[in-house]
Amino acid sequence: MPEVHIIGAGETKFGELWDKSLRELAVEAGLKAIEDAGILSKDVGILYGSSSLAGTLNWQNDMGSLLADFSGIAASGIPAVRIESSTSSGASAVREAYLSIKSGEYEVAMVGGVEKMTDIYGSEIHDIVSTTLDREWEAFFGATAASMAAISARKYMKDFKVEKEALSMISVNDHANASLNPNAHYRNKITLDAAMNATLVAEPLNLMDCSPVSDGASALILASDKFAKSVGKDGIRIKGSAIAQDYLALHSRESIYTLKSTIQAARQAFEKSGTKASDISFAEIHDSYSIYGLMELEDLGFAPKGKAKDLVMENIGLNAPLPVNPSGGLKAKGNPMGATGVGQIVEGYLQIKGKAGERQIKNAHDGLFHSMSGSGSTSVVHIIGSE
Ligand code: COA
């Protein structure tokens, strides 16, 4: 089977982008990726568009066709489909693109992830985001994404005797890194004290434990090794790609603080890539809520269960043994849901290419990218590397 390389990446700024429409964001990221890859749009064999909530947020479905239309590839008859798996939509789309090349069907695939969330605010946006939960058994009774994360946080903190400090450190790290990322939603550094004492959202989680509601778009161009060579591109190889599933409703899971889908996807991605946790030089993890950052570091294999607190207190900064979320993560780079998982890999591509500017990690080689739906029903893990 052909090897799959990332040969181009592009993204918009993440944030409250009131002067740009859904389609403008998507096209901006897509054109940047095509330009970066140095290909023509007619070279693209298939386009995967990802958006989690465009149908309800923007009254726009069929994102694949919209993206193809406005990035100028519809006239060439290039197929375009939308991939949706809630907050992991972007990573799922990258995986579909990867598989389309791995299968031998296409030489070049484009992935475009976008979300335009800030046109709706107040309780309406929370209600729409809650559609990513089990509507009948969770959201109907008033549960929100934040309250589900809070339930997991309370039990996790009690069972493992973890203090709030450890959760807050996830956000402090994200904000520190985002301060060096011009495309991040929030570029302010925060102190541990400020992170611990922000306004409560769902106890014990406060404003600084929550990813924001963001607009933004990210895009990648994937190609077979044969195509990459033919255009003289030295891409970054996707070494492993895996997806795994758990129950949608939190109450159906074996544990409310163990992400079984993450454990399975990570195990498969390590196996397929022939790497192990100690080979990873940096990671982008789906910390939509700070508690998930701790759970994910454990379930991805970077810390024993209940012990991520020791890792995050000292060892996840840009110069640490395992830099986590050099982009600023979901908390501070932002979380435009359909773009988030694509954007994580855009960051990986930049880091490994040595093009990450002020937030560049020394000796970035193999990177792990974890994206998750809601409270953990679907997990997608990619491992990409320089050789
Ligand atoms: N982190 C830091 N600051 C935030 C923030 C966040 N997550 N969310 C909002 N703010 C800031 C805003 O910039 C604004 O600052 P300003 O007054 O200086 O302009 C202020 O807080 C109030 O913003 P507002 O939009 O009114 O906040 P809100 O109370 O409506 O929303 C949350 C705050 C945490 C509820 C919202 O960000 C949220 O729902 N986040 C989670 C999104 C989510 O669940 N995504 C899917 C994950 S699965």
- pLDDT tens profile 214-229: 999 999 999 999 999 9
Torsion of CA 364, 102, 112, 213, to 10 degrees: -60
Regarding the beta carbon of 212 and ligand 1, being less than 6 Å apart is answered: yes
CA pair distance 58, 331, nearest whole angstrom = 23
- CA-wise closest residue to 168 among 49, 54, 69, 287: 287
Q: 333 C-alpha vs ligand 1 centroid, how far in Å?
A: 13
Half-sphere exposure of 173 (CA within 13 A, CB side): 30
Determine the Cα–Cα distance for residues 56 and 46; give it in Å rounded to an integer: 25
SS3 per-residue string spanning the chain: CCCEEEEEEEECCCECCCCCCHHHHHHHHHHHHHHHHCCCHHHCCEEEEECCCHHHHCCCCCHHHHHHHHCCCHHHCCCEEEECECECHHHHHHHHHHHHHHCCCCCEEEEEEEEECCCCCCHHHHHHHHHHCCCCCCHHHCCCHHHHHHHHHHHHHHHCCCCHHHHHHHHHHHHHHHCCCCCCCCCCCCCHHHHHCCCEEECCEEHHHECCCCEEEEEEEEEEHHHHHHCCCCCEEEEEEEEEECCCCHHHCCCCCCCHHHHHHHHHHHHHHCCCHHHCCEEECCCCEHHHHHHHHHHCCCCCCCCHHHHHHHCCCCCCCCCECCCCHHHHHCCCHHHHHHHHHHHHHHHHHCCCHHHCCCCCCCEEEEEECCCCCEEEEEEEECC
Per-residue confidence (pLDDT) for residue 176, from 0 to 100: 98
**Mean pLDDT computed over 98-126:** 95
> What is the CA(125)–ligand 1 centre distance, in A?
11
Res. 203: pLDDT tops 90: yes
Q: What are phi and psi of 75, to 5 degrees?
A: -60, -25
Strand-pairing partners, residue 217, are: 114
Q: 133 CB less than 6 Å from ligand 1?
A: no
129 lines ligand 1 (CB under 6 A): yes
Pairing, β 200-202 against β 205-206: antiparallel
Closest residue by Cα to atom 40, ligand 1, is 212
| Predicted pLDDT at 315 | 85
List the beta bridge partners of residue 49: 82, 112
**Residue 108 pLDDT level (bands cut at 50, 70, 90):** very high
Atom of ligand 1 nearest to the CA of 335: 45
> Is the minimum distance from the CB of 328 to ligand 1 under 6 angstroms?
no
Ligand 1 site, residue 171, Cβ cutoff 6 A? no
From the alpha carbon of 122, which atom of ligand 1 is closest?
A: 30
Span from the CA of 213 to the centroid of ligand 1 (angstroms): 6
Per-residue pLDDT, averaged over 148-157, amounts to 98
Q: Supply the pLDDT for residue 114.
A: 97
Q: How many residues does the chain have?
A: 387
pLDDT band, very low/low/confident/very high, at 122 (cuts 50, 70, 90): confident
Interval 310-333 mean pLDDT:
96
Nearest CA to ligand 1 atom 10: 212
Residue 336 beta carbon below 6 angstroms from any ligand 1 atom: no
- Ligand 1: does its nearest atom lie under 6 Å from the Cβ of 150? no
Ligand 1 contacts CB of residue 87 (under 6 A): yes
Residue type, 203: E
Query: Which domains, and CATH codes, for the chain?
Result: 4-121+213-237 (3.40.47.10), 123-212+239-385 (3.40.47.10)
Residue 288 beta carbon below 6 angstroms from any ligand 1 atom? yes
d(CA 129, CA 373) in angstroms, rounded, equals 11
pLDDT at 386: 84
- Looking at every residue in the chain, the average pLDDT score rounds to 96
Q: Read off the amino acid at residue 57.
A: L
Instruction: Please give the structure tokens belonging to residue 127.
Output: 């209600």
**Token pair recorded at residue 324:** 């986590």
* 72, pLDDT greater than 90: no
**Measured distance CA(12)–CA(30) in Å, rounded:** 9
Look at residue 70 and tell me whether its pLDDT is greater than 90.
Answer: no
Question: Within 10 Å of residue 187's Cβ, how many Cβ atoms?
Answer: 16
Band the pLDDT of 293: cuts 50, 70, 90: very high
End-to-end CA distance of the chain: 17
Confidence of residue 71 (pLDDT cuts 50, 70, 90): confident
Asked if residue 241 has its Cβ within 6 Å of ligand 1, the reply is no
Whether cis (ω within 30° of 0) applies to the bond prior to 79 is no
* In the predicted structure, residue 260 carries a pLDDT above the cut 80: yes
Structure tokens at 100: 């389309």
Q: How confident is the model at residue 74 (pLDDT cuts 50, 70, 90)?
A: confident
Instruction: Give the atom of ligand 1 at the shortest distance from the alpha carbon of 145.
Output: 44
Ligand 1 atom at minimum distance from 16 CA: 13
Q: What mean pLDDT do residues 83-108 have?
A: 98
Query: What is the C-alpha separation between 224 and 3, in angstroms, rounded?
Result: 6
pLDDT for the residue numbered 121? 79
CA distance 324 to 327: 9
Does the pLDDT of residue 387 top 80, yes or no?
Answer: no
Mean pLDDT throughout 299-318? 95
Percent of the chain with pLDDT over 70: 100
- The preferred substitution site among 53, 207, 214, 215 for testing ligand 1, maximizing ligand atoms within 8 Å of CB, is 207
- In this prediction, residue 244 has a pLDDT band, given cuts at 50, 70 and 90, of very high
Q: Is the CB of 206 under 6 A from ligand 1?
A: no
By CB neighbour count within 10 A (0-12 exposed, 13-18 middle, 19+ buried), where does 356 fall? buried
CA atoms of 51 and 113, how far apart (whole Å): 6
pTM of the model: 0.97
Question: Which atom of ligand 1 lies closest to the CA of 337?
Answer: 46
